[in-house]
Amino acid sequence: MPELPEVETVCRGLEAALRGRRLARVEVRRADLRVPFPAGFAERLTGRRVTAIRRRAKYMLWAFDDGQVLIGHLGMSGRMVIGGGAPPPPGRHDHVLFVTDDGGHVVFNDQRRFGLMLLDHQDTLEHHPLLAGLGPEPLGNGFDGPTLSAALAGRHTPIKAALLDQRVVAGLGNIYVAEALFRARISPRRQAYTVAGARAERLVPAIRAVLEEAIAKGGSTLRDYVQATGELGYFQHEFAVYDREGEACRSCQRGLVRRIVQANRSTFYCAACQR
């Protein structure tokens, strides 16, 4: 599933292509994805001008000139692909088409149909069930050591699981949590409440650095993900522990990368240098 860097990369590509453009035509080619499309989805967006596209957690937020906001999620296999000129004939998994007033288009392709597109209004957006209760953005000014320490206080769960809880910090996923914990030299098995003080102060910049580097490389392409331009992400070539089970630790050179299962998710770490 695309994580924060992948969604951020897609949003930046869409923002560059769509901001200020009017949607001349919107086609919805099926009744639902993970959930049904809102009633009148295509009609409500046709003729509207895109004023901004940003990310919140793993959601895309398209703002329009009438105050509407499209809440989008890529699911496990969703792709937003930007094109120029006449749209291609619809493929089997091309579910939504957006045609702009300058002759460009964007196609939403989702083979597994776990993505979603909903509509809300900017005045009520923060209270939407998908967004209400989300924790701070890990790249925002509101995320620091004391904030993370407070969010983890009293949590008797592994730190890996706690960081995947979107109420603690928004947008983190399995890959980047594993990489950040490695950089901070914190074991994914460690109880979350013990990651306070100096450990939290190490972990916050590690999270930021991993995310920023991944965004700079266009995210990680492991299976389905591509950027909005159609290019692959390249951060997977920088993984220190993720998907490297049995390989030598690139930091300490003493341990091997181990794989364990936590909450039905694979966790990769070096037991020699992560404590």
CATH number at residue 58: 3.20.190.10
Q: What share of the chain is helix, strand, coil (3-state, %, to 5)?
A: 25, 25, 45
Domain region containing 196? 145-270
Q: Hey, is 213 helix, strand or coil?
A: helix
Query: Domain boundary residue among 76, 96, 127?
Result: 127
d(CA 196, CA 206) in angstroms, rounded, equals 14
User: In the chain, how long is the greatest CA-to-CA distance?
Assistant: 61
* Shared-domain flag, residues 101 and 191: no
189 and 78 part of one domain: no
pLDDT value for 72: 98
Residue 135 located in a structural domain: no
Looking at 97, 127, 157, the residue that finishes a domain is: 127
Is there a single domain that holds both residue 9 and residue 121? yes
Residues 104 and 17 in one domain: yes
Task: Give the span between the Cα atoms of 77 and 2, in whole angstroms.
Answer: 8
Question: What residues are paired with 84 via a beta bridge?
Answer: 104
pLDDT for 259 equals 97
In total, how many domains does the chain have?
2
Angstrom distance (rounded) from CA 109 to CA 88: 12
Other C-beta atoms closer than 10 Å to the C-beta of 170 total: 23
Position 67 scores a pLDDT of 98
Same domain, 117 and 153: no
Last residue of a domain, one of 94, 127, 160: 127
Both 150 and 263 in one domain: the answer is: yes
Is 0.75 surpassed by the pTM of this model?
yes
Mark whether 221 and 265 lie in a shared domain: yes
| 21 lies in some domain | yes
Q: Roughly how many angstroms between the first and final C-alpha of the chain, as a whole number? A: 28
The DSSP bridge pattern shows strands 23-28 and 50-56 to be unpaired
Q: Which residues are catalytic?
A: 2-3, 58, 265
Whether the CB-CB separation of 54 and 61 falls below 8 Å is answered with yes
The answer to whether residue 76 is domain-embedded is yes
User: How would you write the pLDDT of the chain (275 residues) with one tens digit per residue?
Assistant: 789 999 999 999 999 999 999 999 999 999 999 999 999 999 999 999 999 999 999 999 999 999 999 999 999 989 999 999 889 899 999 999 999 999 999 999 999 999 999 999 999 999 999 999 999 999 999 999 999 999 999 999 999 999 999 999 999 999 999 999 999 999 999 999 999 999 999 999 999 999 999 999 888 866 656 666 766 676 888 899 999 999 999 999 889 999 999 988 999 999 999 99
CATH of the domain at 188: 1.10.8.50
What is residue 85's predicted lDDT score, i.e. its pLDDT?
Answer: 87
**Residue 247 domain-assigned?**
yes
Is 107 found in the same domain as 21?
yes
DSSP 63: E
Please return the burial class of 43, using the count of CB atoms within 10 Å of its CB with bins 0-12, 13-18 and 19+. exposed
Predicted confidence at residue 225, as pLDDT, reads 65
Is 51 contained in some domain?
Answer: yes
The answer to whether residue 139 is domain-embedded is no
CA–CA separation, 27 vs 45, rounded Å?
10
Q: For residue 137, tell me if it sits in a domain.
A: no
Residue 157 and residue 88 in one domain: no
Structure tokens at 16: 């560059």
Confidence at residue 237, expressed as pLDDT on a 0 to 100 scale: 85
H/E segment holding residue 24:
strand 23-28
Residue 9 within any structural domain of the chain = yes
Residue 79's DSSP bridge partners are 109
61 backbone dihedrals φ, ψ, rounded to 5°: -125, 110
Helix residue ranges, H only, 76-189:
145-152, 159-164, 174-184
Q: Are residues 50 and 120 in the same domain?
A: yes
**Predicted local confidence at residue 95, as pLDDT:** 97
So what's the pLDDT on residue 2?
85
Phi, psi of 259 (to 5 degrees): -120, 130
